[in-house]
Protein backbone atom coordinates (compact mmCIF):
# COMPACT_ATOMS: atom_id res chain seq x y z
CA UNK A 1 0.00 0.00 0.00
CA UNK A 2 1.28 3.46 -0.91
CA UNK A 3 0.52 6.81 0.71
CA UNK A 4 1.44 10.04 -1.04
CA UNK A 5 2.23 13.03 1.18
CA UNK A 6 2.11 16.39 -0.59
CA UNK A 7 3.25 19.67 0.92
CA UNK A 8 2.63 23.01 -0.72
CA UNK A 9 4.17 26.42 -0.81
CA UNK A 10 6.75 27.39 1.86
CA UNK A 11 6.54 24.05 3.66
CA UNK A 12 10.23 23.55 2.86
CA UNK A 13 10.77 26.54 5.18
CA UNK A 14 9.51 24.75 8.29
CA UNK A 15 11.67 25.74 11.25
CA UNK A 16 12.63 28.97 9.48
CA UNK A 17 9.34 30.76 8.78
CA UNK A 18 6.86 31.81 11.51
CA UNK A 19 8.29 29.58 14.24
CA UNK A 20 5.65 30.84 16.66
CA UNK A 21 2.96 29.36 14.39
CA UNK A 22 4.68 26.31 12.85
CA UNK A 23 7.28 25.41 15.48
CA UNK A 24 11.03 24.88 15.42
CA UNK A 25 11.20 21.51 13.67
CA UNK A 26 12.46 21.69 10.09
CA UNK A 27 11.17 20.01 6.94
CA UNK A 28 13.73 17.19 7.18
CA UNK A 29 12.45 16.40 10.67
CA UNK A 30 8.92 16.13 9.25
CA UNK A 31 10.12 13.81 6.48
CA UNK A 32 11.86 11.52 8.99
CA UNK A 33 8.75 11.48 11.16
CA UNK A 34 6.61 10.46 8.16
CA UNK A 35 9.10 7.76 7.11
CA UNK A 36 9.18 6.31 10.63
CA UNK A 37 5.37 6.19 10.75
CA UNK A 38 5.30 4.48 7.34
CA UNK A 39 7.66 1.77 8.64
CA UNK A 40 5.49 1.31 11.72
CA UNK A 41 2.36 1.02 9.56
CA UNK A 42 4.18 -1.19 7.02
CA UNK A 43 3.28 1.04 4.08
CA UNK A 44 5.22 2.71 1.31
CA UNK A 45 5.30 6.50 1.46
CA UNK A 46 6.30 9.11 -1.08
CA UNK A 47 6.79 12.71 0.01
CA UNK A 48 6.58 15.61 -2.42
CA UNK A 49 6.88 19.35 -1.83
CA UNK A 50 6.58 22.20 -4.28
CA UNK A 51 6.15 25.94 -4.21
CA UNK A 52 4.51 25.70 -7.63
CA UNK A 53 0.80 25.05 -8.02
CA UNK A 54 1.15 23.30 -11.38
CA UNK A 55 3.76 20.87 -10.03
CA UNK A 56 1.33 19.83 -7.29
CA UNK A 57 -1.44 19.35 -9.87
CA UNK A 58 0.96 17.24 -11.96
CA UNK A 59 1.80 15.06 -8.93
CA UNK A 60 -1.89 14.58 -8.11
CA UNK A 61 -2.62 13.60 -11.70
CA UNK A 62 0.26 11.09 -11.62
CA UNK A 63 -1.31 9.57 -8.49
CA UNK A 64 -4.43 8.80 -10.52
CA UNK A 65 -2.41 6.33 -12.61
CA UNK A 66 -0.45 4.86 -9.69
CA UNK A 67 -1.64 2.48 -7.01
CA UNK A 68 -2.00 5.16 -4.33
CA UNK A 69 -4.22 4.15 -1.40
CA UNK A 70 -4.39 7.62 0.05
CA UNK A 71 -3.09 11.16 -0.04
CA UNK A 72 -2.11 13.37 2.87
CA UNK A 73 -2.00 16.94 1.60
CA UNK A 74 -1.02 20.20 3.20
CA UNK A 75 -1.66 22.67 0.38
CA UNK A 76 -0.45 25.46 2.69
CA UNK A 77 -1.39 28.87 1.23
CA UNK A 78 -2.82 27.13 -1.85
CA UNK A 79 -5.58 25.87 0.48
CA UNK A 80 -7.30 29.22 0.19
CA UNK A 81 -6.61 30.04 -3.45
CA UNK A 82 -6.18 27.01 -5.69
CA UNK A 83 -9.16 25.84 -7.68
CA UNK A 84 -6.66 23.85 -9.79
CA UNK A 85 -5.45 21.75 -6.83
CA UNK A 86 -9.05 21.36 -5.65
CA UNK A 87 -10.13 20.06 -9.05
CA UNK A 88 -7.18 17.65 -9.25
CA UNK A 89 -8.03 16.27 -5.79
CA UNK A 90 -11.66 15.87 -6.77
CA UNK A 91 -10.62 13.66 -9.71
CA UNK A 92 -9.02 11.08 -7.40
CA UNK A 93 -10.98 8.20 -5.93
CA UNK A 94 -8.53 7.38 -3.13
CA UNK A 95 -8.80 8.60 0.47
CA UNK A 96 -7.60 12.19 0.85
CA UNK A 97 -6.87 13.97 4.14
CA UNK A 98 -6.05 17.67 4.30
CA UNK A 99 -3.57 18.56 7.05
CA UNK A 100 -2.57 21.89 8.56
CA UNK A 101 0.03 22.32 11.29
CA UNK A 102 -1.76 25.36 12.68
CA UNK A 103 -5.47 25.75 13.34
CA UNK A 104 -6.48 27.71 10.26
CA UNK A 105 -9.78 28.66 11.91
CA UNK A 106 -7.90 30.55 14.63
CA UNK A 107 -5.79 32.56 12.20
CA UNK A 108 -6.44 35.50 9.88
CA UNK A 109 -9.88 35.62 8.26
CA UNK A 110 -8.51 34.89 4.79
CA UNK A 111 -7.19 31.54 6.08
CA UNK A 112 -10.58 30.32 7.34
CA UNK A 113 -11.89 29.15 3.96
CA UNK A 114 -10.42 25.99 2.46
CA UNK A 115 -11.13 25.38 -1.22
CA UNK A 116 -9.58 21.91 -0.99
CA UNK A 117 -11.20 20.48 2.14
CA UNK A 118 -14.64 19.84 0.58
CA UNK A 119 -13.10 17.33 -1.86
CA UNK A 120 -11.14 15.52 0.87
CA UNK A 121 -12.44 12.86 3.25
CA UNK A 122 -11.41 14.95 6.23
CA UNK A 123 -9.23 17.70 7.61
CA UNK A 124 -6.81 17.70 10.55
CA UNK A 125 -5.79 21.18 11.69
CA UNK A 126 -4.00 22.59 14.70
CA UNK A 127 -2.35 19.39 15.95
CA UNK A 128 1.13 20.30 14.75
CA UNK A 129 3.22 17.80 12.84
CA UNK A 130 1.25 14.96 14.46
CA UNK A 131 -1.54 15.71 12.01
CA UNK A 132 0.49 13.98 9.30
CA UNK A 133 0.88 10.72 11.20
CA UNK A 134 -2.76 10.78 12.31
CA UNK A 135 -3.80 11.18 8.68
CA UNK A 136 -1.62 8.23 7.69
CA UNK A 137 -3.21 6.09 10.41
CA UNK A 138 -6.66 7.09 9.18
CA UNK A 139 -5.83 6.06 5.62
CA UNK A 140 -4.42 2.67 6.67
CA UNK A 141 -7.38 1.97 8.96
CA UNK A 142 -9.91 2.83 6.27
CA UNK A 143 -8.17 0.90 3.50
CA UNK A 144 -7.19 -2.23 5.44
CA UNK A 145 -9.41 -2.21 8.51
CA UNK A 146 -6.37 -2.51 10.79
Pick out the residues of the known binding site for substrate: 74, 80, 87, 101-102, 111
Residues 5 and 98: their CA atoms lie apart, in Å, by: 10
Residues 125 and 127: their CA atoms lie apart, in Å, by: 6
Which one of 22, 27, 64, 138 is the catalytic residue? 22
**Does 27 participate in catalysis according to the annotation?**
no
**Does 52 participate in catalysis according to the annotation?**
no
CB distance 74 to 8 below 8 Å: yes
pLDDT confidence band for 110 (50 / 70 / 90) = low
Q: Which residues of 76-104 are buried (b: 16+ CB within 10 A; e: fewer)?
A: bebbbbbeebbebbeebebbbbbbbbbeb
In order of start, what are the domains of the chain with their CATH numbers?
Answer: 2-144 (3.40.50.9100)
pTM of structure: 0.92
Q: Which residues pair with 125 in a beta bridge?
A: 100
Q: Kindly report which listed range (5-9, 38-42, 95-99, 114-118) carries the lowest average pLDDT score.
A: 114-118
Which one of 27, 100, 112, 132 is the catalytic residue? 100
Amino acid sequence: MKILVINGVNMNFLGIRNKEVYGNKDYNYLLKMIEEKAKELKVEVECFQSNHEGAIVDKLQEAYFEDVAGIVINPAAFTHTSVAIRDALESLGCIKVEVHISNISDREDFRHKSLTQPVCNGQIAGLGLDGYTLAMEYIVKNVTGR
